């Protein structure tokens, strides 16, 4: 299991980063991205701490790789490119933007601003436009299929457009609690439920592997 979107108590998750890692490892995870919610108010505080935690823990932890990240959340669209760059500067290897999910009042224009910024994943992008899906494909920004309640309501729509228009997908949990962590078989079931074929399911899971590898190759 590779999961590139989770939260600790440094934002609104239940667990400290160390317990999140151990719980994920126990659940069979091989790669875990810790991507706490950030905006202008807390990016300087949260991202360096996650980066330090991941660096030191990766030196001693066996069986799981931890990736320091950030999820820009409810940020006014004009500020997204600046904050994405700042997150990188502060130590985030993995940068997500909280997309225009239909279950939260995310500012309109967030998806488009995110796709024009230096990010890796547009999380739960909701009813994303065809033009935006094409931009994601051209810029090699991954669109997220979400295991999280509520955000998952548009999984089928996102998957269908991505397959038709050439964008790449990844499956993440957006985990905030222990019960949100899932096994790889559950991930496959969610992708099938989104309407993907067996080949597309395999490709989506492999996308997470490729992205994780790319992030650390770029770091080195």
90-130 pLDDT per residue, tens: 999 999 999 999 999 999 999 999 999 999 999 999 999 99
Angle, helices 43-60 vs 17-26, to 10°: value is: 50
Question: How many domains does the chain divide into?
Answer: 1
Confidence of residue 53 (pLDDT cuts 50, 70, 90): very high
Q: Print burial letters for 113-150: b (CB count within 10 Å at least 16), e (below 16).
A: bbbebebbbbbbbbebeeebbebbbeeebbbbbbbbee
Domain of residue 28: give its range.
2-219
Helix (H) or strand (E) holding 59: helix 43-60
For 159-203, what is each residue's pLDDT tens digit?
A: 999 999 999 999 999 999 999 999 999 999 999 999 999 999 999
Q: Hey, what's the torsion of the CAs at 39, 75, 165, 167, to 10 degrees?
A: 0
Contacts of 107 (CB under 8 A, 6+ apart): 74, 75, 76, 77
Euclidean distance between CA atoms 10 and 114, whole angstroms:
23
Its pTM surpasses 0.85: yes
CATH number at residue 8: 3.20.20.140
**For 12, left (φ over 0), alpha (ψ -120 to 50), or beta?**
alpha
């Amino acid at each position: 299991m590779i999961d590139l979107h989770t939260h600790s108590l440094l934002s609104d998750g239940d667990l400290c980063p160390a317990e999140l890692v151990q719980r994920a490892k126990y659940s069979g995870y091989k790669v875990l991205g810790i991507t706490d919610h950030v905006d202008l108010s807390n990016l300087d505080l949260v991202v360096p701490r996650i980066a330090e935690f991941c660096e030191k823990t990766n030196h001693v932890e066996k069986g799981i790789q931890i990736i320091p990240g950030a999820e820009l959340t409810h940020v006014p669209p004009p500020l997204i490119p600046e904050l994405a760059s700042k997150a990188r500067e502060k130590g985030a290897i993995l940068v997500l933007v909280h997309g225009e999910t239909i279950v939260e009042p995310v500012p309109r224009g967030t998806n488009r601003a995110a796709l024009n910024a230096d990010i890796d994943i547009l999380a739960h992008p909701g009813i994303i436009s065809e033009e935006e899906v094409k931009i994601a494909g051209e810029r090699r920004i991954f669109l997220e299929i979400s295991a999280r309640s509520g955000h998952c309501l548009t999984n089928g729509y996102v998957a269908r457009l991505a397959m038709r228009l050439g964008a790449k997908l990844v499956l993440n949990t957006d985990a905030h609690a222990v019960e949100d962590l899932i096994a790889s078989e559950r991930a496959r079931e969610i992708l099938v439920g989104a309407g993907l074929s067996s080949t597309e399911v395999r490709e989506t899971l492999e996308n997470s592997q490729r992205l994780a590898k790319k992030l650390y190759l770029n770091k080195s």
